[in-house]
Structure 1
Amino acid sequence: MDTLTRIRAFIDVVDAEGFSAAARRIGKSKALLSKYVRELEDELGALLLNRTTRQFSLTEAGHTYYRTASEILKEIDNLADLVRANNSDLRGRLRITVPRTFVDAEIGQSLIDFGKQHPELSLEIVSDDRFVDLVEEGFDVAIRITRLEDSTLIARKLDDFQLLVCASPHFLAKAGPFAHPTDLAHVPCILDTNGRSYSNWRFIEPDGSPFTVSVSGPIEVNSPLAAARAAVTGIGIAVLPDFIARPKILSGELVTLFEEFLPKDRGIYAIYPHRRYLPTKVRTFVDFLHGWFRKSQ
């Protein structure tokens, strides 16, 4: 029995959060996986997992070993992908973390279209609005809607993105007109709590000076789709992602405000760890999304 097989067994168990779940996922017996992990611990002379009948957890040594071993195995797998790069067949699993807003909006169709075009590749799409640690949590790639900041990760821009201030024509007829974004501090606003500063909306003066406006209102919700519905009903003013607001703007259900004051420093990005060998499946996925957004414009 080689060490690599034991390491894979250990990582499978940790990823599945238990021996039974790992056995079901990869089609091996629980007893065999337990044997492999025990042999790995014997080889290392260290306990990696705390095992009881009800609980499962990593020891301090286990945490350290898992992080490094995961990266080593990924490099081995990525090197194999590189050798197979001229082969049109993609194999294995691609783990993607994506904001719920992206998945639920029309642009989420891009993920479905990729899966349809590459049925031989197993996609695991995890919808999560937090910024996950790709390396720590074992993801191959992330889709992020954000301002790009310095990072050890690699980013490729897929499309432009902007937040829009929107309200229904009925609300504006009742509460307007508004001359400057600071007027928003005195009217009901719908707050999407997904934003880092959801109650302090960012703007830029024509001379480039940034400023914020503190807002409040009758509804706080962690869903831009729900915020859009609330704005359509005339409850208040909302800041919405452009790909959610545009259809309702085109239909006349919403109108935009203060576009000349809105920052234009955000984008939709594919983010992936900096590795020596970029997996073919990651490169293929990112290239597909980049092309998908170009065609959809």
Structure 2
Amino acid sequence: MDKLQAMLVFSKVVEAGSFVGAAERLNLSTTAVSRYVAELEGQLGVRLLQRTTRRLHLTDLGQLYYHRTLHLLDEMNELESELLQETQQPAGRLRLSVSIPFGARQLAPALARFRQRYPHIRVEVVASDRKLDLIEEGLDLALRITNTLDGNMIARPISPIRTLICASPDYLARRGTPLTPDDLRQHDCLIYNGIPEPNQWSFVCEGGEVYKVAVTGPLEADNGDILVGAALAGMGITRSPSFMIGEALAEGRLVPLLSGYHMPQLTLSVLYPSRQYLPAKVRRMIDFLLEEWGGEVPPWEACWLQPPDGP
């Protein structure tokens, strides 16, 4: 007896509610369907179905076996789907959501490399600083920088996102360098007002406690690029995610401050709706993003954390 085929026939009998209905769905004779179920019961040594002249009823063991059978058949179908995808060149449109600053600075150049590897995948980027619903927006996946994720989505952490405090050499030459978080009270701070408590800059102490410092300054904005631009021009001290300022730090146009103190850290994650029957194009993109940015030190930090070349 073909055990897998017998399990499939049994599941169709339950779904159809009769041997005749299952036979029609499977394009088999009613006799063949009845024989598969009888042989399956004989091999298992239990009765799965109670047969009456009017309808079929699952026994308690039949109910258990039916649900386990559905799970196994789903696993088999998913495995076959994955194997088929591995032999095919992934293609089609892939819709991806990302925040505007991260999309412009990090995703855009990475997509050029992704295109070289998978030329038949067309990527549509939905750049927004709003939290979009993947299902409602028809998105395949999303990149999020947060520690609070939607419980209905599958989330794969990619890399840590550190927040750094920095200023231009010109500003520091004029105003001096803060040595402790409390020194920030005496400086011009550039404030991102797109978050709760924008004028409170938080630091994590050695014991894990959060210490907040009240800051003020000549500029507030709901866009990080404006604040980084102002810091580069010497207007004040900015608090920015490392992916926005890595190049400026590497080139010395910005100087990291208070390196002995740490600010709360976020995580870059890729979100997608389900693991089941994940299209090849989505699976390839997830693997690519993990390859590009995975690890404790992401590339936007590695460029300025590397020690200088020797003489």
TM-score normalised per structure 1: 0.66
- Where does 1:6-85 land on structure 2 (aligned, <5 Å)? 82=82, 84-85=84-85
Measured after TM superposition, the shift of residue 189 of structure 1 is 1.2
User: Is contact 2:203–2:264 with CA below 8 Å preserved after alignment?
Assistant: no
| Structure 2 partner of 1:69 | none
| Structure 2 partner of 1:129 | 129
Measured after TM superposition, the shift of residue 274 of structure 1 is 3.0
| Paired residue secondary structure (2:248) | helix
The 1:197/1:133 distance shift into structure 2, 3 A limit, reads: farther
Identity across the alignment (%)? 32
| Structure 2 partner of 1:114 | 114
Matched, 1:86 2:90: no
Measured after TM superposition, the shift of residue 164 of structure 1 is 0.5
Q: Aligned partners of 2:81, 2:185: CA distance in 1, in Å?
A: 54
| Structure 2 partner of 1:284 | 284
Which stretch of structure 1 is more off in the superposition, 286-295 or 123-132? 286-295
Q: Aligned partners of 2:88, 2:193: CA distance in 1, in Å?
A: 43
User: Is contact 1:199–1:214 with CA below 8 Å preserved after alignment?
Assistant: yes
Matched, 1:164 2:140: no
Measured after TM superposition, the shift of residue 267 of structure 1 is 2.1
The 1:177/1:86 distance shift into structure 2, 3 A limit, reads: closer
Which stretch of structure 1 is more off in the superposition, 82-91 or 113-122? 82-91
Q: Aligned partners of 1:181, 1:168: CA distance in 2, in Å?
A: 18
The code of the aligned residue for 1:256 comes to P
Q: Aligned partners of 2:182, 2:279: CA distance in 1, in Å?
A: 48
User: Is contact 2:163–2:265 with CA below 8 Å preserved after alignment?
Assistant: no
Measured after TM superposition, the shift of residue 223 of structure 1 is 2.9
- Where does 1:135-174 land on structure 2 (aligned, <5 Å)? 135-149=135-149, 151-174=151-174
The 1:258/1:134 distance shift into structure 2, 3 A limit, reads: same
The code of the aligned residue for 2:114 comes to F
| Structure 2 partner of 1:188 | 188
User: Is contact 2:202–2:264 with CA below 8 Å preserved after alignment?
Assistant: no
Measured after TM superposition, the shift of residue 281 of structure 1 is 1.7
Q: Aligned partners of 2:115, 2:279: CA distance in 1, in Å?
A: 17
Post-superposition CA distance 1:197-217 (Å, at most 9, x none): 433222112332112223232
Q: Aligned partners of 1:86, 1:140: CA distance in 2, in Å?
A: 19
Which stretch of structure 1 is more off in the superposition, 233-242 or 153-162? 153-162
Q: Aligned partners of 1:84, 1:186: CA distance in 2, in Å?
A: 63
Which stretch of structure 1 is more off in the superposition, 259-268 or 89-98? 259-268
- Where does 1:187-226 land on structure 2 (aligned, <5 Å)? 187-226=187-226
| Paired residue secondary structure (2:172) | helix
User: Is contact 1:161–1:264 with CA below 8 Å preserved after alignment?
Assistant: no
Q: Aligned partners of 1:225, 1:187: CA distance in 2, in Å?
A: 20
Post-superposition CA distance 1:216-254 (Å, at most 9, x none): 322222332322221111111101121222221222211
RMSD over aligned CA atoms reads 2.6
| Paired residue secondary structure (2:96) | strand
The code of the aligned residue for 1:166 comes to C
The 1:273/1:102 distance shift into structure 2, 3 A limit, reads: same
The 1:222/1:232 distance shift into structure 2, 3 A limit, reads: same
User: Is contact 1:206–1:260 with CA below 8 Å preserved after alignment?
Assistant: no
- Where does 1:224-263 land on structure 2 (aligned, <5 Å)? 224-263=224-263
| Structure 2 partner of 1:64 | none
| Structure 2 partner of 1:50 | none
The 1:221/1:79 distance shift into structure 2, 3 A limit, reads: farther
Q: Aligned partners of 1:92, 1:107: CA distance in 2, in Å?
A: 19
The 1:180/1:149 distance shift into structure 2, 3 A limit, reads: farther
| Structure 2 partner of 1:104 | 104
| Paired residue secondary structure (1:113) | helix
User: Is contact 1:148–1:266 with CA below 8 Å preserved after alignment?
Assistant: no
Q: Aligned partners of 2:90, 2:258: CA distance in 1, in Å?
A: 47
| Paired residue secondary structure (1:259) | coil
TM-score normalised per structure 2: 0.63
Q: Aligned partners of 2:274, 2:227: CA distance in 1, in Å?
A: 36
Q: Which has the larger Rg?
A: 2
Post-superposition CA distance 1:108-165 (Å, at most 9, x none): 3112321332221221101111111112222110011222546222111222221100
